[in-house]
A and B are shown apart, each in its own frame.
Chain A
Amino acid sequence: MSTTSLTAGNMIAAIVQWLILLVLLRVYVYKPLLAAMQRRKDNIAKQIQDADILREQAQKLHDEQQALVRSARDDAKTIIAAARREGEEQAKKIVETAQREANYRQKAALEEIQHERDLALSEIRGQVADLVLMATSKLLERDIREQDQHHLVEEFLAEAGSLQ
């Protein structure tokens, strides 16, 4: 036999060898290999999905924090503005109170001074009247009821005061 001989037995043997090898490889090699490849594909798909979800969550957190920071900043701004306004108002109030107080004190002091002056004046008037009475009664030695004379002198002095 040569290599160019065609023998039915060898032809069938070649086919059977191919088929047996196909069955063996399918069961022992291709099946686990394809399963592993499929698992790897699934894993990668899952990891990509997980990464997407994580990224979304991170984005959401980031947005939330951004919003928080923004609102905190706004809050701080309003608080500062309110505090400033309040401070200014308070300062104004303090100044006003102080002004009022000062005015009141000044007024009171003036009134007191006026009062003292009036008091002093009336006392002086009284004394002057007494002195004048004494002087005139001594001079005139007239028996005049003290009170009527005193009254006359007062009138005289009041007229003299208004003329001043």
Chain B
Amino acid sequence: MNFSLTGFDWPPFIWGLLAMAVVFGFGLLAVRRVSTAVPSGSQNIMETALETFQDLVGQMAPPALAPNLTLMGLTLFLLLVVSNILGLLPLPGIGARWIHSPTAFLSMPAGLALWIFLLIQWAGIKYKGIGGFLVGWFWKPIPVFGFIVNALEQLVMPVSLAFRLFGNILAGELVLRMTTNLPHGIGGWLVTLLVGTGWLAFSLIISLIQALIFTILMVAYMSIQANKDH
């Protein structure tokens, strides 16, 4: 792992644009002919997703924050799901880089986690007031030294968020590639067929679950900050 201020990796950016386009395209498809009667097809899928997130966020977040957090969470979830699944599709590589999921590049989940970290601080200031926010950071659970505990907790949060997603998706994509790059011969393609297909199904589920975990944790962290009694 190395950090670069000036470097830029094009493949995750381009795959990210593709994921955006897919999500936005599906969204446009869903509202192409908006029906106020019984919805069907893509509109039904989109409405179900929206309602599921409304319920999910509504259980955690205070009413003032819930509508915006719902849309933010749903957008993040859709972007991550499509990003994760991109790695499982038979797409051409960019140059010598054959990893497709933008989430399999550490920079993307890390960037999102950093933004979520900043959002949480903003939510803390907004809903607890600057005084309550500072007390939360420096005075709890014990005066002065509470800062050490809180700093650890607050730093571990985005790091674990980023690495959990990144690791799962990268591993999924790497193992999938391994099953397709076995030596030729009767055993090779049989293993590819059985193990590869099984792994593909497993990775598909992991793609959904990891996107959901990332999103739900974001919603939960934001809700904890916005609920005054915490």
A contact residues vs B (CB 8 Å cutoff):
1, 3-15, 17-18, 20-22, 24-26, 28-30, 32-37, 39-40, 43
Contact of A10 among B17, B35, B43, B107 (CB under 8 A): B107
Does B16 have its Cβ within 8 Å of any Cβ on chain A? Answer: yes
Residue in B closest to A43 when the chains form the complex, CB atoms: B36
List the one stretch of B110-118, B192-200, B204-212 in contact with chain A: B110-118
Pairwise interchain contact A25-B106, C-beta atoms closer than 8 A? no
A-B contacts, 29 of them at CB < 8 A, read A1-B9, A5-B1, A5-B4, A5-B7, A5-B105, A7-B4, A7-B9, A7-B107, A8-B3, A8-B5, A8-B6, A9-B6, A9-B7, A10-B13, A11-B107, A15-B111, A17-B16, A21-B24, A24-B20, A24-B24, A25-B71, A25-B74, A25-B78, A26-B71, A29-B46, A30-B50, A37-B51, A39-B36, A40-B37
Q: Is the contact region of chain A dominated by helix, strand, or loop, or is it mixed?
A: helix
In the complex, chain A residues whose CB is within 8 Å of the CB of B35: 36
Query: Are A4 and B106 also in contact (CB < 8 A) when A21-B20, A29-B27 are?
Result: yes
Which residues of B have CB within 8 Å of A20?
Answer: 20
| Residue of B with least CB distance to A36 | B34
**How many B residues touch A, CB cutoff 8 Å?**
51
Residue from the list B50, B51, B108 in contact with A14, Cβ < 8 A: B108
Scoring A3, A12, A29, A43 by chain B CB atoms within 10 A of each residue's CB, the highest score goes to A3
B149-164 interface mask toward A, CB cutoff 8 Å, 1 = contact, 0 = none?
A: 0000000000000000
Give the chain B neighbours of A43 by CB distance below 8 A: 36
Interface of B is mostly: helix
Q: Give complex CA distance A60, B74 in Å.
A: 49
- Work out how many contacts link A and B, with CB atoms closer than 8 A: 142
- Asked whether A3 lies within 8 Å of B111 as measured between CB atoms, the reply is no
Find chain A residues with CB under 8 A from B110 CB.
6, 11, 14
Determine if B104 is an interface residue (Cβ-Cβ < 8 Å).
Answer: yes
A147 → chain B, closest Cβ, in Å?
132
Instruction: Give Cα A26–Cα B24 distance, bound, in whole angstroms.
Output: 10
Residues from chain B with a CB closer than 8 A to the CB of A29 are 24, 27-28, 30-31, 46
Complex: how many Å from CA A136 to CA B3? 188
In the complex, what distance in Å separates the CA atom of A14 from the CA atom of B76?
A: 11
A33 touches B47 (CB 8 A): yes
A32 CA to B106 CA, complexed, in Å: 35
Query: When chains A and B are docked, how far (Å) is the Cα of A12 from the Cα of B99?
Result: 20
Q: Does B75 contact A (CB under 8 A)?
A: yes
Measured CA separation A17–B71 after assembly (Å): 15
CB pair A7–B7 under 8 Å, yes or no, is yes
Q: Bound state CA distance, A37 and B52, in angstroms?
A: 13
Contact: A3 with B71, CB < 8 Å? no
A44 to chain B minimum Cβ distance, whole angstroms, is 10
Measured CA separation A21–B82 after assembly (Å): 13
Closest to A6 in B: B3
* Cα separation A33 to B27 with both chains bound (whole Å): 10
- B67's nearest neighbour on chain A, judged by CB, is A34
Does A37 lie within 8 Å of B50, measured CB to CB? yes
A7–B50 Cα distance when bound, in Å, is 33
Chain A: minimal CB distance from B170 (Å): 6
| CB pair B1 A6 closer than 8 Å | yes
Provided the pairs A26-B71, A28-B28 are in contact, do residues A1 and B114 lie with their beta carbons within 8 angstroms? Answer: no
Query: Which residues of chain B from 7 to 41 have any CB-CB distance to chain A below 8 Å in the complex?
Result: 7-9, 12-13, 16-17, 20, 23-24, 27-28, 30-31, 34-37, 39
